[in-house]
Structure 1
Amino acid sequence: QIIQMVSDAAATKAPIAKIADRVSGVFVPAVIGVALATTLVWLLLGQTVGFALARGISVLVISCPCALGLATPVAIMVGNGMGAKNGILFKTAASLEAAGRTEIVALDKTGTITQGEPKVTDILPVQGLTETELLRLARALEQKSEHPLAKAILQRAEEEQIPAEEVTDFQALPGNGLTARLNGAALSGGNLSFISTQAAVPQDLQSKAEALAGQGKTPLFFSQNGALLGVIAVADVIKEDSPQAVKELQNMGIRVVMLTGDNQRTAQAIGKQAGVDEVIAGVLPDGKESVIRTLKEQGRVAMVGDGINDAPALTRADTGVAIGAGADVAIDAADVVLMKSRLLDVPAAIRLSRATLRNIHENLFWAFFYNTIGIPLAAGLFIPFGLTLNPMFGAAAMSLSSFCVVSNALRLNLFNLRDARKDKPLKSKHSKHSEEVTTMEKTMKIEGMMCGHCEARVKKALEALPEVSAANVSHESGTAVVTLSGALADEALKKAVEDQDYKVLGIQ
């Protein structure tokens, strides 16, 4: 499949090739016309038929549409081959070209920035419940889940030799949590806003959970029959190469955004470790695609992910990049596949794409330059200066032009796509706008929220606004901390909340 993918990519046509195609479509008839005109002009000037034909034939022989035709496909073929050798698979020539024009890179957190193998770090049962009992009930609930956080709880339970129990009526609620029944009792697990709809969460436990989140850990809340059981904190360590990869992208003039379903505190902690420019937290699985759509208004976007829920975002982005160790659906939806699952391969892929584009531009320049000089020389415009061209030398020069174009493309084999020393920002029409885009937070004081369900309604209403990248809502404090990715009037925020029958007391 890999061999077929590389072969198919080499056979496809990059958008930049359309320039050469359009020129070639005009070039051949134009050269034939120039050759006929040259022969006719020399005859009218009183030259012999042999001389006039020699000039016309020289024009035909020295003109080189093949150099124009080779300029793009040879460079694309070599660039694809170089990527494949380094574990970077471009599915099409268009994806190889598009990667180099990237201005914003959106990174999924779990499995992309982080290892994707979280570990249980803290177990906080409520009073009267032991850690073992909390872990037993959590294992029963999580054993049917495919989420990485669930695997961490299962692993910890196995280490402590806690037996698995079978649950019924299991249901996964994407972006919220899980529900099931164990021996007739209703079990629930998930984030704070979801569990708040199932059970009352004491303020002291919320404070402890917030402290854990501030350390980059994800707190998972559990309840049974409407009573809180406790909190299990899970941490996913970032990959060793993530900070370096982010730094290299930034040095290339690319804005780096992290997307995650985690709460704002946990996400900010991970984002700070990785060094990203912006963190968009609390994103539901079906919300990543809309975030990418918003980012595309600010520049060309590459989305990097590995999970099933990343597939729509990968498809929506200008360039979808899948981690090779990820889900098959993500790999199928992406334009570029990183076989070694290293985040450092993202700047490497962009670097290779830019080098390939630069090589194509060089090839097109030399092809045009050669014909611009060669055709007038063959037509005899320089004869008054003592310069003439034998058709045999014209044939040799034509062959040499194609040789030069192919040789220049083959130089890509010497390109070190992991060398970041020559990285520089890409000039584009979006760059100025991208520099001006800043994120800011506004805190809304809201009256009337009574429970987690109220939080969810307000959060959904606020995040439906295109300029709102995240909203962290708390009914206990009666506030909503809104992260904006663009300018938005306070009245628009107020209206979104008050349409849900809650009162906005103030916005700061």
Structure 2
Amino acid sequence: MENEQKTYRIDGFSCANCAKTFEKNVKNIKSVENAEVNFGASKITITGDATVQQIEKAGAFEKLKVVDKNQPKPEKQSFFKKHREVLISGLFMLLGFALIIINDGQNAITTGTFLISIIIGGYQMFWTGINNLSKLRFDMKTLMTIAVIGAALIGEWPEAAVVVVLFAVSESLERYSMEKARASIQSLMEIAPNTAVIKTPAGNKELPVEDVRIGDIMIIKPGDKLSMDGVIQSGSTNINQAAITGEALPAPKSAGDDVFAGTLNQSGYLEVEVTKNNEDTTLAKIIQLVEEAQQERAPAQHFVDQFAKYYTPAIMVAALLVAIIPPLLFGASWATWVYQGLAVLVVGCPCALVISTPIAIVSAIGNAANRGVLIKGGVYLETIGQSRTIAFDKTGTLTEGHPHVTDFMTYGDYDREAVLALSAALESKSEHPLAASILDFTESEDVEYSTIHIDDFKAETGKGITGTIDCKIYSIGKPENFDDADAYQSEGKTVMIIKENNTVIGLFAVIDPLRESSKAAIEKLHKMGSRTAMLTGDNEKTAGAIAGTLGIDTVYAGLMPEDKLDAIKNMQSDHKVTMVGDGINDAPALATADIGIAMGKGTDTALETADVALMGNDISQLPFTVNLSKRTLRIIKANITFSLVIKLIALLLVIPGWLTLWIAILSDIGATLIVALNGMRLLRVKE
């Protein structure tokens, strides 16, 4: 029997390296088989068994706490309480400098003042750093601990205090930056109410959502938010679904329509039958997938992780060589070069580099989620922007997905109602998207077809349907060189002909209107440098007319489902391809493309099928997604480059002996601030 997996929310992460240390500590608990920290979502998933006390002990070095989602949220701490150690340490540091000025130099009192500053601001760092050293584990706190102790040993107490205070400020900055980036995702968790008003024989009762069961009837008054997913049993209203779909305009809803947890009832009184448990609502799935997305590391994150793995030990070796080679080989001053070695340790602290990628990924994914675009991982976020071609399925993607009959005609002496009736009888057994349009048209003409008996019904994907009625074989399918179809097809209509024993007896022309947003979306994608392609089962004339209207670059027409897959592979021969479809009929093509994007409408299918889901079922969200990806790539590359260049420049100051602990720590905190602010710009991308 496999050990159970449990997930805990963690409060207090200050940096990615600390999260890794915490993960290792939890893995070392005897009863734990495996542990995986999701730094972006502030969670840990544990396979095995561990108590809350054991988990918090593993994170004691960082004062980490397990957050119980069922307990009330702790009150927000005041700024002073949250940063009291840093503030008090900073005050003692400033006092020390004031005493140096007053006394015209350093004495025992000033040294004691700086020591107090170091202890208050750095005791937690020292505890972790010394513990790491005992286990030969080298991270940022290890580097800082060695640097501060070394500075104290050579009498540089003022600079040791400055290093401690500024490093503490840097950690607070990292924590604040990540909290700000996570806020857009955590806000999703607060959208749906924790209670629901349920109709019972004894009257209406307010229950915790955990106690609400499938089949219960929720009472939703105007202005209320929905707590659970369900189907409206009675009432009509307009519902703001922005939390799920990103759509700004309210959607009209009435009896029989699906509604989602976290959406806002704007006008009517509703009775809603609950269809999903609290943990299975669409909103809950979105939150889960968005949090998991942060764990799907982007290629840039893999680079940073691998680089940092070797970078920190290399910096320690470099610092040692800087400290000992000049005095040993050239007779230089030990004090001078030990000081330079300590400065190398400080400047080598990889804070900015480590935070450069996760803060950008979390900011971008959080922003997208709040706009109704679900991106399932950093790797997908990167790849969208790298795709040179975006391929579209036609039906339900570029079009509205609600085809209707525009023209119907019969041939020979065949009666109009008779041809309509047998056509509807055949299509009633079909699941093809166009079948519903023929049934709707037939019913609008008040033609009865339910009594017609069909034998030997067959449906061949991409070809059509056949069946036997009164010993005659009837079929509905593509026109295949039927001249009368040309005029309709040149207007972008799909033509189907009805045959009796291979003789044409009727023709339907059907149109699926283009989405209003399709043309504008295609134009924006072209301006971004993307090529576009359309994959459709329609004939070349119909497909060409639609592509011409939208300005699509390449058309693949007359495709069977397996042909769509081949078309994607063909385009992938020399560049990456993104495929946009409805998440159902296009599953093979979506899976084969480098990135599969599903049109959503808040459905489970869209959530589960593709790498990205446009929850609003609106293609206008696509240019925003591509733009967000491209900007994320640029910001990640800029952050990594800037972090490394700043380190390199500071390290080059060692050659003339100009590097000081002041410059070292200021370059680190400056780089951290800049990459954090740069990454957080992705929270503000709007289009």
Please report the TM-score for the alignment, with normalisation by the length of structure 2. 0.56
Moved more, 232-241 or 391-400: 391-400
Deviations 1:353-398 (A, max 9, x none): 0000011011101110121122233x4x333xxx441x35533442
Contact 1:259 1:281 (8 Å CA) reproduced: yes
Question: Size of the alignment, in residue pairs?
Answer: 400
Contact 1:306 1:325 (8 Å CA) reproduced: no
Q: Secondary structure at the match of 1:369?
A: helix
1: CA distance, partners of 2:439 / 2:603: 21
Contact 2:579 2:595 (8 Å CA) reproduced: yes
Residue in structure 2 matched with residue 382 of structure 1 by the alignment: 656
Compared with structure 1, are the counterparts of its residues 116 and 228 closer, same or farther at alpha carbon in structure 2 (3 Å cutoff)? same
1: CA distance, partners of 2:583 / 2:483: 31
Compared with structure 1, are the counterparts of its residues 399 and 12 closer, same or farther at alpha carbon in structure 2 (3 Å cutoff)? same
Contact 2:360 2:680 (8 Å CA) reproduced: yes
**Among candidates 140, 154, 164, match of residue 425 of structure 2:** 140
Compared with structure 1, are the counterparts of its residues 322 and 190 closer, same or farther at alpha carbon in structure 2 (3 Å cutoff)? same
Contact 2:583 2:590 (8 Å CA) reproduced: no
Residue in structure 1 matched with residue 248 of structure 2 by the alignment: none
Deviations 1:299-340 (A, max 9, x none): 211111115331111111111111114986565332111111
Contact 1:308 1:327 (8 Å CA) reproduced: no
Task: Name the aligned partner's letter for residue 271 of structure 1.
Answer: A
Residue in structure 1 matched with residue 680 of structure 2 by the alignment: 410
Residue in structure 2 matched with residue 462 of structure 1 by the alignment: none
| 1:156 and 2:430 matched | no
Residue in structure 2 matched with residue 198 of structure 1 by the alignment: none
1: CA distance, partners of 2:469 / 2:529: 53
| 1:91 and 2:367 matched | no
Deviations 1:54-99 (A, max 9, x none): 2222211221222212111111111111111111111121110000
2: CA distance, partners of 1:358 / 1:3: 26
Q: Secondary structure at the match of 1:11?
A: coil
Tell me by how many angstroms 1:256 deviates.
1.1
**Among candidates 569, 585, 602, match of residue 309 of structure 1:** 585
Tell me by how many angstroms 1:48 deviates.
4.7
| 1:15 and 2:299 matched | yes
Structure 1 alignment gaps of length 5 or more:
194-202, 419-508
Matches within 5 A, 1:17-36: 17-36=301-320
2: CA distance, partners of 1:207 / 1:149: 21
Q: What is the aligned-residue identity percentage?
A: 37
Tell me by how many angstroms 1:298 deviates.
3.6
Residue in structure 2 matched with residue 237 of structure 1 by the alignment: 513
Tell me by how many angstroms 1:169 deviates.
3.5
Contact 1:106 1:304 (8 Å CA) reproduced: yes
1: CA distance, partners of 2:457 / 2:357: 54
Compared with structure 1, are the counterparts of its residues 143 and 325 closer, same or farther at alpha carbon in structure 2 (3 Å cutoff)? farther
Matches within 5 A, 1:67-466: 67-165=352-450, 167-182=454-469, 184-193=471-480, 206-306=482-582, 308-325=584-601, 332-377=608-653, 379=654, 381-383=655-657, 387-389=658-660, 391=661, 394-416=664-686, 418=687
Task: Name the aligned partner's letter for residue 216 of structure 1.
Answer: G
Deviations 1:437-473 (A, max 9, x none): xxxxxxxxxxxxxxxxxxxxxxxxxxxxxxxxxxxxx
Q: Secondary structure at the match of 2:299?
A: coil
Tell me by how many angstroms 1:170 deviates.
2.9
2: CA distance, partners of 1:128 / 1:408: 74
Deviations 1:86-140 (A, max 9, x none): 1111112111000001111111111111111111011111121232222211111
**Among candidates 346, 349, 361, match of residue 61 of structure 1:** 346
Tell me by how many angstroms 1:284 deviates.
0.9
Rg bigger for which structure? Answer: 2
Contact 1:303 1:314 (8 Å CA) reproduced: yes
Residue in structure 1 matched with residue 165 of structure 2 by the alignment: none
1: CA distance, partners of 2:486 / 2:659: 83
Q: Secondary structure at the match of 2:314?
A: helix
Contact 1:305 1:330 (8 Å CA) reproduced: no
Deviations 1:139-193 (A, max 9, x none): 1111122222111111112222223425444322100001233455433111124
2: CA distance, partners of 1:109 / 1:33: 60
Tell me by how many angstroms 1:25 deviates.
2.6
Structure 2 alignment gaps of length 5 or more:
1-284
Q: Which has the higher contact order (CA 8 A, sep 6+)?
A: 1
Task: Name the aligned partner's letter for residue 676 of structure 2.
Answer: V
Task: Name the aligned partner's letter for residue 83 of structure 1.
Answer: A
Contact 2:324 2:334 (8 Å CA) reproduced: no
Tell me by how many angstroms 1:227 deviates.
3.7
Contact 2:458 2:467 (8 Å CA) reproduced: yes
**Among candidates 325, 336, 341, match of residue 51 of structure 1:** 336
